[in-house]
Amino acid sequence: MPLDRCFQLLRPVLERHGGTVEQVVGDAVLAVFGMPLIHEDDALRAVRAAFEMRDALAALNGRLETELGVRMTMRVGVNTGEVVASGTGSAGLVTGDAVNVAARLQQAAGSGEILLGEGTHKLVRWAIDAEPIGAIDRRRRSRPTRGFRLLAITPGLTGHEQRFDSPLVGRERERGLLESAFEQATADETCQLFTLLGPAGVGKSRLVHEFLQLVGPEAQVLRGRCPPYGERVAFWPVAETIKQAAGISDADTAAEVRDKIGALLGADQRASVIADRVAAIIGLSEAPSSGEEAFFAIRSVYESIARAHPLAIVFDDVQWGEPFCLDLIEHLADTRGAPILLLVIARPELLDDRPAWAGGKLHSTSVVLGPLNDAEVSRLVTNLLGGSAASPSVERKITEAAEGNPLFVEEFLAMLLEDGLVRRAGDRRIGMTDLAAIATPASIKALLAARLDRLPIGEREVLELAAVVGKTFTREAVEALVEPDAVQEVARRLESVVRREIIRPDRSAPDILDAYRFRHILIRDAAYAALPKRERAELHERFADYQERAAGDRLVEYEEVIGYHLEQATHYRQGLGRNDERTRELATRAAQLLGAAGIHAIQRGDALASSRLLERCRAMWRQPVLARPQEALRGDV
């Protein structure tokens, strides 16, 4: 049947981009991205899948018209948001407002159209061409959602938007090391392997861009990127560089491709054989049977290019590289007799798979790119505002939230400007509202959630428990939250995530043993957001009980902390509809402790803190599960 053939055609497209088909009802398909594994580019994957599905259906229609005299059409709605999920796969159930909006977008789409929700459009707009279509009726929703009609997708873009239009801030030392490596390769006619490591958004691509602008006039630059998914990804970055060097286009015939590769090799007597092997790597035929033969062929091409001009080869996103690609890079690092700078850009996860990366290579340098300091963040904000200074409140909000990550600075500032929360006042930009409660941009949430989702399950779980405690925590506190059979694993797992640059030892309290802090508050927030509300309620209550026991006769010092966790446990239980006796007990304990902390605050002269604490105590009194609110303040408070 045509419909069966259509589904057989479209399912592989969805799955190839990382989607999971959740439901097939009649002629409708519901697919989700970000389940069971989150990727930072799930929104872009979904949009690409929809675009490719439309092209695939057009090809199928050509056959259906010939065979059966019929045509099929499709319309697609793509939306982004939180969902409630029960299982995955064909028996799974995904519900929530995000699903409802996607359905409304699909219903509003015309034949062959792909409509994007507002949230999806914000995440992918830098990589697509789309036009607004106005508000979409959400049926009994107070706020309609805006829709966008997808027109085109820019090929080759991955990850997140990159901006090179403002001056580079900082990075003088790292730029000097890069320049030195290039000079060494040129002077000694050797291959210098330079690995630039750092988390997403820290500025690796920007630094490399500035460096290549400097050496571009005297070197030939080739760039390849390791894609996070797809077919033949092992050969992809190499194929990109060879195509750039030879001027190969998609319109070239197989013979033309071989001739262009052969031209790179000049008078080499083995040119014909090497060209055949490299053409196979590019994808004109089956890949070579021998890895050594492939390595030799690729190395020969690079060496031939470098003998004419110094060569800078950039391999980006190497943390996603297949073993073939990683082996090749280490093989190329042994090249002698040709000036080659082999520049590898990767996230620290590369070292998870290759802990001895480039080990033993004589001409190898590895640099970890760290965050910007506060002064550099301030300069970056001014640059992004076109020379206008931000008000202290705006700059403080961005500095605290971004913690030195340039991408986070850009995303927070863009969100504030787009949402009208910052406006120009003379030569400054000022905040239009209290910025303390501003939400994290969805692009940053996706990036951090994807990083955590790639961790081994034990390490991810220990981070989620630590996130309940707060930005700073101790090993003992985490051990109090894990199941008894996992206590012995906590120390090892914490040390592992320290090595991954996700947390670090906390030196601010030298008298506390085994204290840690999240390297970024947004990482803590992402780990916490991964916990279901039911687990949050249980963990906040468990931590409050632990802290109360640990405080002993020093309870006064911890009243506010324990009260906060009991307060959170109460809120989450009520959000789940658990207005029972246990919830009443939690609310009572929270009110008592917050009230006591408020009275002690006024006694030490902190009227503002006292007011806030007592107001929270009052809010706990008003909980509907409390029969007698006056009981919340009793005893010696």
**Pairing of β 340-346 and β 191-197:** parallel
Decide if pLDDT at 636 tops 50.
no
Decide if pLDDT at 231 tops 60.
no
Tokens of 490: 């906590």
3-class SS letters over 191-233: EEEEEEECCCCCCHHHHHHHHHHHHHHHCEEEEEECCCCCCCC
φ, ψ for residue 334, nearest 5 deg: -90, 5
Tokens of 184: 């060494």
Q: What is the pLDDT of residue 249?
A: 85
Sign (positive or negative) of CA dihedral 231, 233, 235, 241: positive
For 238-295, how does the pLDDT look when each residue is reduced to its tens digit (9 = 90+)? 989 999 999 988 788 888 888 898 888 887 778 888 888 888 887 766 545 567 888 8
Measured distance CA(402)–CA(268) in Å, rounded:
53
pTM confidence score: 0.77
Distances 103 to 12, 85, 114, 152, 458 between C-alpha atoms, Å: 22, 17, 12, 22, 36
* Amino acid type, 430: I
Show the DSSP H helices in 419-554 as ranges. Answer: 442-453, 457-469, 475-481, 490-499, 521-529, 533-551
Tokens of 507: 């030196």
Measured distance CA(579)–CA(20) in Å, rounded:
36
8 Å CB contact between 614 and 622: no
Measured distance CA(461)–CA(467) in Å, rounded:
10
Tokens of 422: 């910052």
317: left (phi over 0), alpha (psi -120 to 50) or beta: left
Beta bridge partners of 123: none
For 551-565, how does the pLDDT look when each residue is reduced to its tens digit (9 = 90+)? 888 888 899 999 999
Tokens of 146: 């805006």
Residue whose structure tokens are 């290759």: 354
168: left (phi over 0), alpha (psi -120 to 50) or beta: beta
Residue whose structure tokens are 């479209």: 10
* Amino acid type, 332: L
For 566-588, how does the pLDDT look when each residue is reduced to its tens digit (9 = 90+)? 999 999 998 888 888 899 999 99
Decide if pLDDT at 34 tops 80.
yes
What three-state secondary structure class fits 106? helix
Q: Which helix (H) or strand (E) holds 311?
A: strand 311-316
Average pLDDT, integer, range 132-140:
72
Decide if pLDDT at 87 tops 60.
no
**Superfamily (CATH H level) for 172-368:** P-loop containing nucleotide triphosphate hydrolases (3.40.50.300)
For 400-419, how does the pLDDT look when each residue is reduced to its tens digit (9 = 90+)? 888 888 988 888 888 877 77
The mean-pLDDT minimum among 99-103, 474-478, 540-544 falls in 99-103
8 Å CB contact between 138 and 104: yes
8 Å CB contact between 188 and 360: no
For 410-467, how does the pLDDT look when each residue is reduced to its tens digit (9 = 90+)? 888 888 777 777 776 666 666 555 566 677 788 888 888 888 888 899 999 999 999 9
Measured in Å, how far apart are the chain's first and last C-alpha atoms?
76
8 Å CB contact between 54 and 74: yes
8 Å CB contact between 22 and 94: yes
Domain 2-153: give its CATH architecture: 2-Layer Sandwich (3.30)
